[in-house]
Structure 1
Amino acid sequence: MSEGERPQRQRVVLAHRRGARMVRTRIEVQEQTQVGDALVRGLVRAQLGLALRLGAVVVFAVAGIVVLNRAAPDLMVFGMRLNWLLLAVLAYPLLYGVGRLYVRLAEQGEKDFVRVVDSEP
């Protein structure tokens, strides 16, 4: 650069408003302020509610098998008693499916939580 040339001016801009909000909300969650604590409690409450609802589905399904066994204890299907067939064929896929559903919905809840934490005011 010669003496007559001046360096080109550069414009310096502060962080965007959205970025400032993201950092502040994350700090509130990390430092466990009242706002951060309320957000985390909301997430835990949502996951507890999900677990209780899906647990109720499993309890009612197993109770249905017990009621069916009481109503028709000697009912045979394919040479087996129906209650054993239901326990062997229905119970495990039901438990697996409810478990997979819980994981998928819990992960969605966590993604929603992150979206709330990262959102603009």
Structure 2
Amino acid sequence: MADVSTPEGPRRVRVTSPRTSAARRPIIPTGTREIDEQTRLGEVYMSSLIQSQLRLALAVIGGAAIVLGGIPLLFALVPATRTFDVFGLPLPWLILGIVVYPVVYVAARIYVRHAERIEAEFTEFVGRQ
């Protein structure tokens, strides 16, 4: 048999896609691209998200502070509550030892639920842009 290899080595073949000559679609800026590239619009999106989260946090903290801060006010304004007993326990101990925890838990659940909603709405909005 004869040797068919050339002294230069194997011949290179260029493989191309049939779509290389097709017109390319213009790149449409999306909200996520704006955020990733840190453009001015991306900064506006992020500051909007941060402001929404801050408003939510301040509202939940304010509500919990009013409820929990109202307990000492209740004891100060209504002296009978200081000596009132429930199931043999003084009312201040019952409120401060037991009732406070469900209030904090509910505040945390409200915060998490609303924060997830804010983030889902933001993600949906940015994805549409």
Aligned to 2:92: 83
> Which protein shows a greater Rg?
2
Aligned to 2:73: 67
Measured at CA, do residues 61 and 27 of structure 1 come closer, stay the same or move farther in structure 2, by a change above 3 Å?
A: same
Percent of aligned pairs sharing the same letter: 31
Runs of 4+ in 1 over 4 A off after TM superposition: 12-15
Aligned to 1:38: 44
Contact 2:60 2:107 in 1 (8 A): yes
TM-score by length of 2: 0.72
Following the alignment from structure 1 to structure 2, what is the Cα–Cα distance between the partners of residues 25 and 98? Answer: 32
Contact 1:30 1:36 in 2 (8 A): yes
Provide the aligned C-alpha RMSD in A. Answer: 2.2
**Unmatched tracts of structure 2, length 5 or more:** 1-18
Give the number of aligned pairs: 106
TM-score by length of 1: 0.77
**Unmatched tracts of structure 1, length 5 or more:** 1-9
Following the alignment from structure 1 to structure 2, what is the Cα–Cα distance between the partners of residues 62 and 32? Answer: 41
